[in-house]
Structure 1
Amino acid sequence: MNDLLSALLLGIIEGLTEFLPISSTGHLLIAQHWLGARSDLFNISIQAGAILAITLVYRQRLWQLATGLGEAATRLYALKIAVAFAVTAVVGLPVRLLGWELPDTVTPIAWALVLGGVWMLIAERISEGKPPSDALTWKVVVAVGLAQVLAGVFPGTSRSAAAIFMALLLGMNRKPAAAEFVFLVGIPTMFAASGWALMETVLDGGAGDEDWASLGVAFVAATLTGFAAVRWLLGYIATHSFRPFAWYRIGLGVALLLGLPAGS
């Protein structure tokens, strides 16, 4: 397949799956099996496109937070974003340095997809039995930070799924409110993770032979599709459950374990 076309498809896949609770890692693994493996710099860059997309989606909310720090409620919300990010950084950095992470290979990702799907079904059933609430407690804040670390240790878990469902289980069970907080926390988290990975890649000399045209195409594709995917998801979850995503994860994970799409 033409290299630019395969880069375009990979960028689209990253943008569509990064923020949906279905695991971008699992989908990119399958896609790169057929479209060819890419460099670490390429994978980091298309994730940066997804980060740019979520930043654009929440540009007005971010501006409101930045300019409204004189108000106690806004200042507290911003502090909670900072604390959730700090929890992820303080716990996640030692985990990363110690190498506590499962490999990006079919079997662990497939199991993470299946178990994550089952967890989503159970968590949504439990959260639906509680009174509706958008209360952002400190318990939710810390749990969202820890959930992001969990997703980093177990590729295929989905950062957004792990964090959103922790919030739902702990009482913040209005989905749009939970998703907004998780996505806002995800902006500094993903910027930091991508920046760290980029630094490691450049220091290791991994940028020398990069196909910059393909990388640019994939970056733009990830940004545009990521923007559309998040806008769609926010509208969808306002009136629908996450169950279709859970069943999709379970089906994909089982197919991977049977060796159907990936052939391994």
Structure 2
Amino acid sequence: MTDAIKAIILGIIEGLTEFLPVSSTGHLVLAGDLLKFEGDTAVTFKIVIQLGAVLAVLLLYWKKYLHIGVNMLKMDFAKSKGLNAIHMFLAMIPALIVYLFFKDMIKTHLFGPEPVLIGLVAGAILMIFAARSRGTKTADTVDHLNYKQAFGIGLFQCLALWPGFSRSGSTISGGLLLGTSQKAAADFTFLISVPVMFGASLLDLYDSWDLLNSDALTLMLIGFVTSFVVALIEVVTFIKLIKRLRLEWFALYRFVIAALFYVIVIL
């Protein structure tokens, strides 16, 4: 199997799983292990192709980002109703700071099958616990989120730096535990995914610049385009599913995948 075909397969996996609470990075690590697509360049590839999925969300949610951007330029945070740039910054800061200080350790020690399987199981347990929480819901939509909830969701997003936990699974679970509806948490997850993933990908590209030759860039472009197209279809198709289907079903899937890959990869 050529590297180009491997890049297409991984791009499809990225696009299908990025916005589902099943961990796209975890799936990429496990699939990369099966495809023998490994090494420093492969790790960078798995992070950079997320930009394709980011572009899909930006294209679909451009009006919301434009609204937030206009309010930011006006410095009209206090008077503006609903979601604004402060919510976004509060949710972004924790994960970006943690990634900045621990990215080398994360890439060296956590991008392997064993850590991913641990993350899949631990993330599934968190999702079940969050789905069964019975706290009062104070935010039915993303525009009802307060700053404390936004920051708290940002703290939960730090868990997603462990491949297998899932960014959407962690943030939606955090939202539920902090008093938001699943719909509000899912919408907020989509919106903060763009700046967080964009920033992480740019940092990784900068750190891995010496590894990028023409062949590596070609593979990343193939993966990027594939993940963009698939993610565009996936977000449009499955966005309602993510908001309505209880997290336990995604947790069950994670248990099954973890068990399956444990038998295939570990044993």
- Taking the aligned partners of 1:87 and 1:254, their CA distance within structure 2 comes to 31
Q: Which moved more, 1:8-17 or 1:72-81?
A: 72-81
Alpha-carbon offset, residue 23 of structure 1? 0.8
- Match for 1:229 among 208, 231, 234? 234
* Aligned twin of 1:18: 18
What residue is the counterpart of 2:200 in the other structure? Answer: 193
Residue 11 of structure 1: how far off its partner (Å): 0.5
1:91 and 1:3 mapped to 2: Cα distance? Answer: 32
Measured after TM superposition, the shift of residue 177 of structure 1 is 1.6
Say yes or no: does 1:210 pair with 2:215: yes
Match in the other structure for 2:33: 33
Indicate the residue corresponding to 2:159 in structure 1. Answer: 150
Question: Is the Cα contact below 8 Å between 2:68 and 2:83 reproduced in 1?
Answer: no
Could you tell me how far 1:248 is from its partner in structure 2? 0.3
Structure 1 residues 163 and 214: alpha-carbon distance in aligned structure 2, compared to 1, 3 A threshold? same
Deviation at 1:251, TM superposition (A): 1.1
Amino acid at match of 1:29: V
Instruction: Tell me if 1:139 matches 2:144.
Output: no
Q: 1:233 to 1:242 in 2, by over 3 A?
A: farther
Which residue of 2 is the match for residue 171 of structure 1?
A: 179
Counterpart for residue 80 of structure 2? 73
Does the 8 Å contact 1:46/1:222 carry over to 2?
yes
| Alpha carbons of structure 1 residues 161 and 188: separation in structure 2 relative to 1, 3 Å | same
Contact 1:121/1:246 (8 A) holds in 2:
yes
Shift of 1:61: 1.2
| Segment drifting more, 86-95 vs 51-60 | 86-95
Number of the residue aligned with 1:242? 247
Cα pair 2:90 2:151 within 8 Å, conserved: yes
* Structure 1: distance between partners of 2:164 and 2:159: 11
State the match for 1:252 in structure 2: 257
Count of paired positions: 256
8 A Cα contact 2:28 2:46, kept in partner: no
Match of 1:49 in 2: 52
Deviation of residue 191 (structure 1)?
A: 0.9
1:22-46 CA-to-partner distances (Å, cap 9, x unmatched) read 0112211222123331524432331
Query: What is the distance in 1 between the residues matched to 2:44 and 2:260?
Result: 29
Structure 1 counterpart of 2:60, one-letter code: V
Aligned to 1:8: 8
Which one of the candidate residues 71, 94, 111 is aligned to 1:87? 94
Aligned to 1:123: 130
Percent identity of equivalent pairs? 33
Which 5+ residue runs of structure 2 have no aligned equivalent? none
TM-score scaled by length of structure 2:
0.85
State the distance in 1 between where 2:100 and 2:220 align: 27
Q: Deviations over 1:191-230 (max 9, x none)?
A: 111000000000xx10125244433222111001112222
The 1-side partners of 2:2 and 2:239 are apart by 34
Q: Contact conserved, 2:29 with 2:116, CA < 8 A, in 1? A: no
Pairwise CA distance, 1:137: 2.5
CA distance in 1, matches of 2:31, 2:151: 34
Aligned position for 2:65: 62
Contact 2:25-2:163 at 8 Å conserved across structures: yes
Change (3 A) 1:151 1:53: same
